């Protein structure tokens, strides 16, 4: 083999090494830039999530406040004091209280979007139990009874367990889990 052929062989080997190294560099650079792009997309998602939380967190807290207010407003003490007017008869007081519970419920229905399904189910149960409590307390009385007897019957029935207390306890628990 002559020097010319050896020289061609060396050039061929050098070119092969350069091409191989160039290919490896290309693959490494491609992988690097793909990873950088993925990191940037991930960072953008994290930033978007942070911005979303900045907006959503106060709205969620407000929803929990409104649910707590709803439960307080339909609790027996608040409900009777707010609904009773002198001169009412028993059936009117019963109707005003059940209507008030339902109106409060309808006013707060949108809050279910911001609280857990479990909590919302507890709130719904409390509302239903309060309507049942008012109605079952009225059943044991006559239409001519003084409406204050309805209030007394409601308080007596709720003395051991207020229907709204369990829902409020679930709300407090969920808030602690979410916001520490």
**How confident is the model over 140-154, as pLDDT tens digits?**
888 888 999 999 999
Tell me the two tokens of residue 180.
Answer: 């520490």
- pLDDT at residue 74 greater than cutoff 70: yes
Confidence of residue 124 (pLDDT cuts 50, 70, 90): very high
CB-CB contact of 63 with 178 (8 Å): no
Domain range for 170: 3-179
Q: Region 16-36: what's the mean pLDDT?
A: 89
CB-CB contact of 147 with 95 (8 Å): no
- pLDDT at residue 52 greater than cutoff 70: no
Q: Region 71-88: what's the mean pLDDT?
A: 93
Q: What is the pTM of this model?
A: 0.74
Confidence of residue 1 (pLDDT cuts 50, 70, 90): low
For the chain, what is the domain count? 1
């Amino acid at each position: 083999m002559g020097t010319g052929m050896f020289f061609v062989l060396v050039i061929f080997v050098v070119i092969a090494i350069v091409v191989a190294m160039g290919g490896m560099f290309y693959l490494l650079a491609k992988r690097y830039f793909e990873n950088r792009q993925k990191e940037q997309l991930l960072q953008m998602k994290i930033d978007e999530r942070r911005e979303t939380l900045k907006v959503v967190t106060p709205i969620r807290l407000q929803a929990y406040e409104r649910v707590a207010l709803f439960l307080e407003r339909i609790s027996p003490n608040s409900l009777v004091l707010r609904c009773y007017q002198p001169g009412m008869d028993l059936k009117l007081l019963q109707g005003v209280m059940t209507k008030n519970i339902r109106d409060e419920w309808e006013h707060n229905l949108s809050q279910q979007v911001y609280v857990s399904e479990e909590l919302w189910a507890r709130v719904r149960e409390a509302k239903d139990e309060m309507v049942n409590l008012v109605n079952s307390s009225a059943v044991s009385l006559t239409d001519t009874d003084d409406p204050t007897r309805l209030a007394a019957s409601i308080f007596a029935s709720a003395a051991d367990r207020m229907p709204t207390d369990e829902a409020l306890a679930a709300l407090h628990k969920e808030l602690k889990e979410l916001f520490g």
